[in-house]
Amino acid sequence: MHIRVNDTVVVISGDEQGARGKVLRVDRRAGKLVVEGVNQVRKHVHRSQRNPQGGRLLKEMPVQLSNVLLVCESCGEGTRTGVRYLEDGSKVRFCKKCGAATGQIAPAKVSKAQK
């Protein structure tokens, strides 16, 4: 899974198609993530100390990982990502459209370093 918290993603299918937002949470086991402002539902809550007025709250629900694409900072578009190793052996994500690196995944490994 190449999408992490605080990444910007674009939704590519469903009711929210075309919406962009920041990733708030990632559930790797279920293959879902919560995106800010996407897939909102109304939750009815009773009055309590935490919510003294009660009423209806807007809450983001998880979206399937296959329904989003990572937004490349250099392209500004939703793109597929790939993985490659740098000369020092560190593992990075890259944009498949423009080839720009979008962030480090793993620190350098001696076995993957090019000689």
Are 45 and 51 in contact by the 8 Å Cβ rule? The answer is yes
Question: How many angstroms separate the CA atoms of 88 and 90, rounded?
Answer: 6
Domain span including residue 94:
80-115
Regarding whether 15 and 65 lie in a shared domain, the answer is yes
- Residue 45, pLDDT > 80, answer yes
Give the distance from CA 47 to its chain's centroid. 33
> Model confidence over 46-92: pLDDT tens digits?
999 988 988 998 999 999 999 999 999 888 889 999 998 888 888 88
Strand 68-71 with 78-79, pairing: antiparallel
Partnered with residue 70 across adjacent β-strands are: 9, 79
The per-residue pLDDT of the chain, averaged, comes to: 89
pLDDT range class, residue 107, cuts 50, 70, 90: confident
How many structural domains does the chain have? 2
Predicted local confidence at residue 115, as pLDDT: 64
81: enclosing H helix or E strand:
strand 81-85
**CATH number reported for the structural domain that contains residue 35 in this entry:** 2.30.30.30
Q: Is the dihedral of CA 78, 4, 62, 48 positive or negative?
A: negative
